[in-house]
Amino acid sequence: MFYQTRSKPYFKFPSEVVLCFVSFQCNVIFPSPFLFTVLEARIQQLQSDVVLDVQHAKVQFLKSPSFRGGLSSVRTLKGSSKDKSDIPKSGQAVTKRASKSQPSRWMEKLSEEKKNKLKKQQILQQKMQRNPKEKLPGKSKASRSSLMPTSTTYKTISSTAKKRRGDLAEIEELEKRLNEQAHQRICLSTMERFQESSTRSSCADIQLSIRCYLEACVFMGDVERSQRFLLSQHRVMSRRKQLTTDIYNIMMRVWAKKVSIGRIFILLEEAGLKPNVSSYSAALECMGRNKNCPPKVISRCLDQMKKDGLSVDDLFRECVFRQDERDMLLKAVQTVRPDYEPSLTLNASQSSSPLVKDFYTNVSRVEFQRLIIPTPVKYTWCVFLSLALGSFYFCSLRWMTSSCVVSQRELLAEQRAQWQKVLLQALRENKMILTKTNTRDYKLNLYPYLCLLEDKEYVDIMIQSVSNLPPSGESLKILAHDLGNRIYTKYCVRQKHQNCIVEKLQSIYGAYTELLAKDTKVCNVLPREQWCKLEMEQSSGPTLQGAETSWPYVLMLELGTFIVDIMVKNLKINSDILNPAYDKKLIPILYHMYTFRSTRQVGFIKPHPILTQMQQEAMETTLTFDSSVMPMLCPPVPWTSEKFGAYLLTPAKLMRATHGATQHEELLEKCPNLHPVFDSLNQLSNCAWRVNKPILDIIISIFNDRGSDKLDIPPPLSEAPKIPHFNPQDPDYTASEKAHMKREVINAKKKCSEMHSLRMDALYKLSIAHHMRDKLFWFPHNMDFRGRTYPCPPYFNHLGSDVTRATLVFAEGKPLGPKGLDWLKIHLVNLTGLKKRSSLQGRLEYADSIMEDILDSADDPLNGKKWWMEADEPWQALACCMEIANAVRSPDPTKFVSHFPVHQVLRKKKKKNF
């Protein structure tokens, strides 16, 4: 009989035939050394009884040598005499063929696992030594004898199959035991790794929170608070373990400017930490500021630094300097080494990737895209700096006004003025409460983060968040993080201004734009390389990159939640402000509610219906945006590292990720060469854009005139379906009618919410486009984890909808050439969605046949034949019609300068296949 077990065959013979164990495979990942010895001895013991050689489906039995001169009788299968003659007699040696047979696969597997997993076995041996020995189940004399060396262990072959089945069962039991222990060890090791990683992550979060707290205290000028906090953490051993050298270095920088730094080094030594490059940099800076510092002290510091494996060049290459720290460090070094100058190298190594290797090899023969800068750089810089420091853009859009709208605007402005006074007083009171309640120095407190900006700036952020709150409300988590992120962004800008980075950035940026401008000589240097070269030439002063520390996600949530709590408790309005018939009393304009998303309970901040009604009826002409979500009025800063690029002062991320995720940042820092990625993003960012004014005016006119669903212009809420009102307790309604009415109410509310969301989205885009209608602007780019590039401004960019794409054209035009007009016609047919199966020549002939409709659409888009409205992308089709009309009516279409962008987009059906 033939059996199949784990794809390893074995044969079962009648009871008078000895069951021969062929091979045995044990799927053990981390076997115990003790059980390995047991199993090895048992297998060799069975192999010494009977050896099986399987070759080409022939089964051959070989008798083992006798023990004490005796042999057990073995009956063989009925077969030919040839098979019988192959069996050697008693005392004879095994034939040559049998001697050449390979050893058992189990033994090969066993030896291979021992070699490959030696380190893991050593770890298991240490664990076994720490734990008491476990007894194997059913331990008998036979099992004890199996532990003896195989060279002195022999057993007489039994003729009964019952004993052999017992041996096989014993081995299977051993295998089962090994598998169970291996599985337990895998589970334990997995849990230990998970606990270790979670502990490491929580420790890193605590260290980052401590670092941010100290930096905030130093920034606000409260050095005494930061010193008390650091000492309170240092005194307790359990809290001292969470401190790192970089945390002590924050206070070293402070005391280096006061020419007293020795105490911090004593604390660092007590903590068992070694100084790093930043520590030695602060020490040498302190010596450079001290006019009476003897040169011997500086020499001893340099010698100690050399013993730690650090060089002076490492200080200038790896440290992040603020204000005049670099100059003081260089002054101290030149006191003992007068001829020393920092050796800086340009970080512009070529990429080794075969995809872009040829490009970087021939980079000197390529002329790169030039920057169009019509306005003086100095003026552009001043405008951007004022916007960055103010952090707000004010965009306006033309609206149809009436006396009722004007009165509502005045009423809303009056309420906001009152809210600002209330919030300002409430913020100051809460700050006073925090200073009195925090009596223990070792506890983290939100007070320093509430002193980073002026009180009025916090109030402006609150008022803006109330204005942007949708009628359906916003998740507390999202709203709190948004508020915390806005405070962090303004803090980073203020920090750069305090560290004198703004002045140096202005100098480098001015030289960068002049070298890459259109009116200068031909440039064959990449923007990234040009920026690095200028930064290396102007190396004195502060370091441009790496000065700010990212706040942890939890900190932003806590700070934002504190701000939201102030808003909910203090923002109130009279209940009879819109209807004098109501009783006059103060009611809050914001409510903290709870809703369910799936099975989770989520906090929600919802505005009062009175506030929503006032904002809708006011129809304000001015919207407020953060400068970081607007297109740039000057060319973006080229990406030179994973932490520096895009905006001038506002921090930006090279790779987009979910809030709180840090793994991608660690992986980016480990990447050896990201220069091809930087250069690709810089090439996209340096493309200048303008607004297509004729298209924008038509879209705004339809937007003000109740919109159009057909043309993807959302209508106002006045066109929304009315929400039915009924009394659920009314006995006139049946149960089915009540259920039907409830569904209608839910559908009507959902429709109103969707219409408001779409209307506000269109309002944001059109307001920004109207604000930029006479300006030249750029879109800085970054990427996601897949490598897909995106513009940083979220509302208005060239990757938006059909409406947004139609309102954008290139700032720099190109002549159409001999075939340019034909390609414009083909592109127009592609936008209509017609002639999908036709060839390019067929599409061109179709465009020529409808030229009358094309010109009519360009001349009279709203009152003519309206052919363009039937296209799949109507607004891009209309823009293309106008471009074709201008080219056809020009004296020479081949010399017509076109600014029209052709967006290559896959259709919806093709996206799935792709």
Q: For 169-208, what is each residue's pLDDT tens digit?
A: 666 676 677 777 666 666 666 665 555 555 566 788 888 8
Segment 801-855, tens digit of pLDDT: 999 999 999 998 999 999 999 999 999 999 998 888 899 999 999 999 999 999 9
C-alpha torsion sign, points 154, 160, 166, 168:
positive
| pLDDT reported for residue 71 | 34
Whether residue 412 lies inside any domain: the answer is yes
Same domain, 757 and 861: no
The single residue listed with the structure tokens 């509430």 is: 450
Same domain, 846 and 860: yes
**Closest among 216, 209, 206 to 448, alpha carbons compared:** 216
| pLDDT reported for residue 20 | 35
Between 359 and 134, name the one with better pLDDT: 359
Whether residue 246 lies inside any domain: the answer is yes
Prediction pTM value: 0.73
Same domain, 493 and 613: yes
Is pLDDT of 288 > 70? yes
Segment 194-248, tens digit of pLDDT: 555 555 667 888 888 999 999 999 999 988 899 889 998 898 888 888 899 999 9
| pLDDT reported for residue 578 | 80
CB 567 within 8 A of CB 479: no
Whether residue 298 lies inside any domain: the answer is yes
Between 861 and 738, name the one with better pLDDT: 861
d(CA 517, CA 777): 15
Same domain, 804 and 829: no
Whether residue 717 lies inside any domain: the answer is yes
The mean per-residue pLDDT over the stretch 94-110 comes to: 49
The two tokens of residue 619 are 């129809």
Whether residue 437 lies inside any domain: the answer is yes
Name beta bridge partners: 58.
55
Question: What is the CATH number for 609?
Answer: 1.10.1320.10
Query: Binning pLDDT at 50, 70 and 90, where does residue 84 land?
Result: very low
Whether residue 741 lies inside any domain: the answer is yes
Same domain, 709 and 741: yes
Whether residue 86 lies inside any domain: the answer is no
**Closest among 554, 388, 396 to 484, alpha carbons compared:** 554
Is pLDDT of 122 > 80? no
Question: What is the CATH number for 873?
Answer: 1.10.287.280
**Closest among 395, 412, 393, 398 to 616, alpha carbons compared:** 412
d(CA 732, CA 534): 82
Segment 728-786, tens digit of pLDDT: 777 888 888 888 888 888 888 888 888 888 988 999 899 999 999 999 999 999 999 88
| pLDDT reported for residue 888 | 93
Query: Binning pLDDT at 50, 70 and 90, where does residue 607 land?
Result: very high
Residue numbers of the domain that contains 548: 392-500+542-624
| pLDDT reported for residue 407 | 84
Same domain, 708 and 579: no
Same domain, 610 and 747: no
Between 677 and 914, name the one with better pLDDT: 677
Same domain, 826 and 806: no
Final residue in a domain of this structure, among 336, 357, 377: 336
Domain count, the chain: 5
Task: Give me the chain's average pLDDT, please.
Answer: 77
Same domain, 770 and 883: no
Of 41-50, 324-333, 397-406, 662-671, the least confident: 41-50
C-alpha torsion sign, points 376, 377, 382, 384:
positive
Angle at alpha carbon of residue 268, lines to 245 and 263, rounded to 5°:
125
Is pLDDT of 668 > 70? yes
| pLDDT reported for residue 879 | 95
Count of alpha carbons within 13 angstroms of residue 401, beta-carbon side: 11
Of 453-457, 581-585, 804-808, 899-903, the least confident: 581-585
Whether residue 553 lies inside any domain: the answer is yes
pLDDT over 90 percentage in the chain: 28
Between 116 and 696, name the one with better pLDDT: 696
| pLDDT reported for residue 139 | 39
Same domain, 234 and 316: yes
Same domain, 413 and 481: yes
The alpha helices in 257-356, defined as continuous H runs, are 262-270, 277-289, 295-307, 312-318, 325-336
Same domain, 417 and 288: no
CB 604 within 8 A of CB 746: no
| pLDDT reported for residue 628 | 82
Segment 290-319, tens digit of pLDDT: 888 888 999 999 999 889 899 888 888 888
